[in-house]
A and B are shown apart, each in its own frame.
Chain A
């Protein structure tokens, strides 16, 4: 499954980069979201792939019995998911505002900073 996930991650990165290179700023954001997901998955896979063993201490035990999925990467990814969402929400609001000001979503027309 690691190989399959690696392929999925590669495909997500490739798709994300391709979308970011499109002309319209909305596709750029979709690409950004895809790369965000890919990065989270990368961190997830890089620790270890363990099926169905969440890092939760069972009743009557004092520690998590091995094997278990790595809790630290999960904590980091959780933070990353939330931050990624915050960035995306802000970017979407910005795009809406930019369209209101510039009247276009074409990145080629957003090259002048001070007007």
Chain B
């Protein structure tokens, strides 16, 4: 059975294999790799008009997560664009990169992105959608930073990842809230959510995710910086597909989250602000790709703006605009890359006269440019449909915003699509080489489709506009697409914006030549400041917590210990009852000796005195063991204590005397902490000596050691028999420590010799 899952899986696998294919056939990789996406494009086209077919199989049933895919009008439109333009871009990559080493990675990443993006638009499970969504962010990061030797490519990549990844987190939270509230992971099963008590949280979180992904104001700044990517990537991810993921999700959820005042106002205002920001900032650029990037920002704003309205008519206009934009903008990006290839420059201000050198490219560029101006059939149709919606009833503020955007698009189209070919050339522009066939096919096909699609409006409407309206508009559009709406207000609007746009186009060169460079604009710098701030806060925090001073660590640890034990004591109130068992005189004397030794150790100023007091404590402990029925411990302790003292003295031979002590204040604080610990531990000892939390197993050893292990010394039996593995571990630790000691002593000596030699 052919399913969307198979499409995603096969393209994903192809992505993994692409670098190997490139290694085998570097000159034909694009031609071969573009075939599978083209096949799937045909398959998705053959499925239209799609009516919401679903495929489901369980994935994590405990959490209600399924592998479910759904193909309806909206998914179908995006799937066709993703696979179709993907095929064109892969073919174009062959011409753009040639057999340049490392291009295999580019092919592979493009295909991985293609599969992920397809997953986003086909997934019907919220978690599945999120996974694919994140996969597009990650592949986008890798593609923007493809030329990772360049610092600004790395910066653009990280910035895109931070913005879209941060938005992705918000989206995940939003989706989880919706799943929680509806008890339903399937997106198609979500009903209208406007009445939900958590509606605002759902909408805000999902909207942040979508706005960051689709470069909406005020998150628009990452998109122009992502233009450091190779041109096929910019054309594909940052105009035709990935940036539309946010718009897609808004459209997908418009049935559940839409229809409220919050939805309408937020999308209208954000979309409108994005349209104006994108248009105005675009006209300040001279780099072809940055011009196109800002105009893409404006176009994405338009899509959000249209989605704010809701209903079948808006859905149909949305579909027309998405289709038209993907075709003309994809083509123009590819043309920009080809110009870069041909003339070794992307400076729109200085380029000119290229039509003689590249007539086919000039034709494709002209056709696509006409689309962007809203003159070519499909784009004209889209624009008329949009304006139609705004005019009934007339919505003056929206018309003005849209008019500015449309006029700006005309001017930008003039600058990027006509000026480089038909304008006057700057003599400083170098003579490049001619573009070859793979470089021309992509732009030409896309540009021609933009014309042809508009010439057969009824056919395209049946396949695309109608199904999208049915999928997200909740019904059929009463006005099917038509190329000719007659003489009326929409046409007047088009003519007006065209005239205004041409005027801006004529004024542009003088304006650029005269314009003083603006101080670089706010949001990009705010991003930098935010990043710097985060790093410096983290650094300050680390410096405080990880200051490298053992004393501070110890003090923190001890204080924490004291607070926790006190809290626990207050809560459980163990109330130790002091058991006044007898103490014989010699025992009391022993305890007194140890106490005095501790006091002497603390007050010692000479190294030898300190070690002697330590020895007194150790032998005192050994005597205690001996007095209270533990001869084995006593013997071990005596042996170890003797060795310890010898080791200390041996080491001291190589070390200097004690340095001067700390100040009174420091010592007072330390004494306070130490007394606290001492008192606490004494109390713990008393509690521990009275409490039995369970029946000890010692009796078992005492009764059975002779019968089972044939040993009379129970401690020995436990060590070598019952807990033999423990003892093996202990011996291992001892041996390793011994090796370490030898290493530290001998290597130290050799290094010192080497140093002096």
Is the A/B pair a real complex?
yes
B640 touches A5 (CB 8 A): no
Whether, in the assembled complex, B572 has its beta carbon less than 8 Å from a beta carbon of chain A, the answer is no
Docked-complex contact B696 and A47, CB < 8 angstroms:
yes
Partner among A69, A78, A87 whose Cβ is within 8 Å of the Cβ of B628: A69
Cβ 8 A contact of B701, one of A14, A29, A30, A72: A72
Q: Is the CB of B684 within 8 A of A42?
A: yes
Determine if B581 and A1 form an interchain contact, defined as CB atoms under 8 angstroms apart: yes
| Residue B38, interface by CB 8 Å | no
Verify A63–B734 contact, CB threshold 8 A. no
| Cβ 8 A contact of B647, one of A12, A13, A81, A89 | A89
Task: Provide the bound-state CA to CA distance between A29 and B550, in Å.
Answer: 13
Q: CA A17 – CA B553 in complex, angstroms?
A: 13
Chain A residues numbered 49-94 whose CB sits less than 8 Å from any CB in chain B: 49-59, 62-64, 68-75, 77-79, 81-90, 92-94
Complex Cα distance, B534 from A8, in Å, reads 50
Select which of B581, B629, B686, B737 is within 8 A of A54 by beta carbon: B629
Q: Does B17 contact A (CB under 8 A)?
A: no
Least CB distance from B584 to A in Å reads: 8
B2 within 8 A of A: no
Q: Is the CB of A63 within 8 A of B550?
A: no
CB distance from B316 to the nearest CB of A (A): 64
Main secondary structure of the interface of A (DSSP, over half): helix
Q: A78-B719, A83-B734, A89-B647 are in contact. Are A13 and B702 (CB under 8 A)?
A: no
Query: CB < 8 Å: which of B611, B617, B655 contacts A37?
Result: B617
Q: Is the beta-carbon distance between A51 and B730 smaller than 8 angstroms?
A: no
Contacts known (A3-B578, A63-B702, A63-B703); A30 close to B685, Cβ less than 8 A: no
A51-B627, A89-B738 known; A3+B647 contact, CB < 8 A: no
A10 to B674 Cα, complex, angstroms: 9
Is B10 part of the binding interface, using a Cβ–Cβ cutoff of 8 Å? no
B702 touches A64 (CB 8 A): yes
> Known: A81-B636, A100-B748. Contact between A71 and B689, CB under 8 A?
no
From A14, A34, A97, A113, B744 is in contact (CB under 8 Å) with A97
Asked if A46 meets B685 with Cβ closer than 8 Å, knowing A3-B578, A57-B705, A106-B659, the reply is yes
Bound-state CA distance A78–B580 (Å) is 28
State which residues 1-29 of A face B: CB under 8 Å: 1-15, 17-24, 26-29
Q: Give min CB distance, A62 to chain B, whole Å.
A: 6
B6 at the binding interface (Cβ < 8 Å): no
B59 to chain A, nearest CB (A): 45
Q: For residue B559, give the distance in angstroms from its CB to the closest CB of chain A.
A: 11
Judge whether A7 and B595 touch: CB under 8 Å: yes
Contact A13 B678 (CB under 8 A): yes
A83–B704 CA distance with the chains assembled, in angstroms: 28
Interface of B is mostly: helix
Interface range, B side:
35 or more
Chain A contact-residue range equals 35 or more
Given contacts A45-B689, A113-B548, contact A94 B715 (CB under 8 A): no
B614 near A7: Cβ-Cβ < 8 Å:
no
User: Would A11 and B647 be within 8 Å (CB), given that A34-B617, A57-B705, A71-B718 are in contact?
Assistant: no
B712 and chain A: residue at smallest CB distance: A57
B601, B633, B643: the one within 8 Å of A15 (CB):
B601
B630 partner, pick from A26, A69, A83, A107, beta carbons under 8 A? A69
Query: A residues within 8 A CB of B741?
Result: 89-90, 92-93
Mask, B663-686, CB within 8 Å of A = 1, is: 000000011011101111111111
Residue from A68, A85, A113 whose CB has the most chain B CB atoms within 10 Å: A85
**Mask for B364-397, Cβ within 8 A of A = 1, else 0?**
0000000000000000000000000000000000
Q: Of the candidates B550, B591, B601, B705, which one forms a contact with A8 in the assembled complex, judged by CB atoms under 8 Å apart?
A: B591
Question: Per-position contact with A for B618-648: 1 when CB-CB < 8 Å, else 0?
Answer: 1001001101111111001100100110011
Taking a contact as CB atoms under 8 Å apart, the answer to whether B658 and A17 are in contact is: no
Across the two chains, which residue of chain B brings its CB closest to A106? B659
Contacts of A74 in B (CB 8 A): 630, 632-633, 715, 718
Query: Are B715 and A44 touching (Cβ within 8 A)?
Result: no
B351 CB, nearest partner CB in chain A, Å: 52
* Interface residue B558 (Cβ < 8 Å from any Cβ of A): yes
List residues of chain A with CB within 8 A of the CB of B752. 100
**CB-CB under 8 A for A4 and B661, given A15-B602, A93-B745:** no
B515 located at the interface, meaning its Cβ lies under 8 Å from any Cβ of chain A in the complex: no
| Known contacts A13-B681, A54-B629: A30-B610 contact under CB 8 Å | yes
CB within 8 Å of A: which B565-594 residues? 578-584, 587-588, 591, 594
List residues of A whose CB falls within 8 A of some B CB: 1-15, 17-24, 26-30, 33-34, 37-38, 40-42, 44-59, 62-64, 68-75, 77-79, 81-90, 92-97, 99-100, 105-108, 110-113
Instruction: Report 7 cross-chain contacts, Cβ distance below 8 Å, ordered by A residue.
Output: A4-B588, A13-B677, A15-B602, A27-B658, A63-B706, A78-B636, A97-B748
18 additional contacts (CB under 8 A) given A57-B714, A96-B748: A1-B582, A3-B580, A13-B682, A14-B675, A15-B599, A17-B554, A20-B554, A34-B617, A45-B685, A55-B698, A55-B714, A63-B704, A75-B718, A84-B640, A86-B736, A107-B551, A112-B548, A113-B548
A-B CB proximity, top 3 nearest:
A14-B678, A10-B682, A69-B629
